[in-house]
Amino acid sequence: MPQRSLSDIVSCVSDYDPEAMTVPQAQQIIHDYVQPIASVERVAIRSALDRTLAADITSTIDVPANDNSAMDGYALRSADIVAGETLVLRIVGSVHAGQQFDGGVAAGECVRIMTGAAMPADCDTVVPQEFTEGRTADTVAIPAGSSISPIRPGDNRRLRGEDLRNGQVALRAGKILRPADIGLLASLGVVEVSVQRRLRVAFFSTGDELRSVGEPLDPGCVYDSNRYTLYGMLTRLGCEIIDMGVVKDDPVAMEAAFRSACEHADAVITSGGVSVGVADYTKQTMTKLGDMLFWKIGMRPGRPMAFGRIASQGRGAYLFGLPGNPVAVMVSFYFFVRDALLRMMGATASPLPRLHATSLSAIRKKPGRTEYQRGILAADSDGEWKVKLTGAQGSGILRSMSDANCIIVLDDAQGDIAAGDKVRVVLFDGLT
Ligand code: AMP
Ligand code: MG
């Protein structure tokens, strides 16, 4: 349950005005209000991919466990090296990966060694095979010729524990585990880890005009696309989804849907019906079931938004009431909901990657609100990032999101952009 009430959090925000919220204010309130779900399960490391690690992982071994060779070649004592002179060493043994050479190696001696094999105790350096010549059955010559770099003590030796030391924290709680992380867990011999259980997110679309795919499109109707973009974004974020379909603009149906959603999910996302149209019943239903704020955020697209917590039958969920327009849904998700869901997952979330790029398009922009323009970002032949608009930017034009690989974020103070100006872009393509 939240530790602080929404009104407590809101009272700390200076200039709070639900009719004119700034983007950073709304982001801050959401961030301060949502709490991690803190429910943990043990899973095999493969199943932990894309999940949030729930406890630190401390290595119980040194990785690698021995000093070992980084090359196929000869292990030698660096004290034998004399600068500028060819070194002829007697081969006293051979060691493969997975083996240990137990014998001694005296001055003037060496051991043939394969990549990954443990270093003989007396040796500290490996000379790669391709740097040697004049090999006989039991000697090898290492020329000091200028075509090869001189051998320095410690060359081509990987040190015990250089990847991770016994007792060192390998992965911190809160990390969303990526392929490298589950590989790292395997390298430590870890079989299972504790992860946060998947976040359950219920969503539905509201609107009498909405038809689901597979249904005929009646006059004046549109197909419901928001449930599909939400499905995609939530799935990429690793959520367990509960798709509740389309709910009519009807207070009874609406209440039943909100109740069911918050009884079964950690978070509920709705689209449509949060503005002031005559059929916008979501507001009254949300208020009836919980602690809700209704905002007009100084942004485009996506101005109206509801946020809070609703409850039914003693079970509660955070609620994000997004606007209906398809682009507004996606923008609101990336810039408000995503961070909140990651926080609920217990993830130490990194913000979406952002960079500066030169705008190839002139962009009209009114100061006083944040605008999210859909952009296509590409590097030019000099490797400089250039971004252009996708074309028509209406909040109902989902095509503009489909064509885009980034969002150009123009913050409140920004005025018109001339072609050639630098702009800030946030990437979403290919990311969670
Ligand atoms: P609303 O916020 O309910 O007034 O909806 C704003 C606009 O978004 C209207 O043109 C709706 O038809 C459209 N819209 C609402 N929900 C969806 C949806 N799920 N899929 C596609 N368009 C929608
Ligand atoms: Mg509607």
Instruction: Give yes or no for residue 322 CB within 6 A of ligand 1.
Output: no
Task: Give per-residue pLDDT as tens, 150-172.
Answer: 788 999 999 999 999 999 999 99
Q: CATH 2.170.190.11 spans which residues of the chain?
A: 68-158
Considering every ligand atom, which ligand is closest to the CA of 274?
Answer: 1
d(CA 407, CA 413): 17
CATH fold of 41-63+163-196, please?
Answer: Molybdopterin biosynthesis moea protein, domain 2 (3.90.105)
Cβ atoms of residues 27 and 131 within 8 Å: no
The order of strands in the sheet holding 73-76 is 125-128, 73-76, 109-113, 87-95, 139-142
Homologous superfamily (CATH) for 68-158: Molybdopterin biosynthesis moea protein, domain 3. (2.170.190.11)
- Per-residue pLDDT band for 146 (boundaries 50, 70, 90) equals very low
Q: CATH 3.40.980.10 spans which residues of the chain?
A: 6-39+198-344
Ligand 1 atom with the smallest distance to the CA of 396 is: 8
CA distances from 422 to 101, 286, 335, 342, 411 (A): 61, 41, 21, 30, 13
Q: CATH 2.40.340.10 spans which residues of the chain?
A: 354-427
| CA 207 to ligand 1 center in whole angstroms | 7
Homologous superfamily (CATH) for 354-427: MoeA, C-terminal, domain IV (2.40.340.10)
Instruction: Give yes or no for residue 243 CB within 6 A of ligand 1.
Output: no
- Its CATH class, for the domain covering 6-39+198-344, is alpha beta
Structure tokens at 276: 């002031």
Instruction: Give yes or no for residue 221 CB within 6 A of ligand 1.
Output: no
Q: Ligand 1 pocket: which of 271, 275, 280 to mutate (most atoms <8 Å of CB)?
A: 271
Whether residue 431 has pLDDT greater than 50: no
Instruction: Give yes or no for residue 209 CB within 6 A of ligand 1.
Output: yes
- Per-residue pLDDT band for 279 (boundaries 50, 70, 90) equals low
Instruction: Give yes or no for residue 272 CB within 6 A of ligand 1.
Output: yes
Q: CATH 3.90.105.10 spans which residues of the chain?
A: 41-63+163-196
Instruction: Give yes or no for residue 282 CB within 6 A of ligand 1.
Output: no
Task: Give per-residue pLDDT as tens, 198-255.
Answer: 999 999 999 999 999 999 999 999 999 999 999 999 999 999 999 999 999 999 999 9
Whole-structure pTM value: 0.90
Nearest CA to ligand 1 atom 17: 324
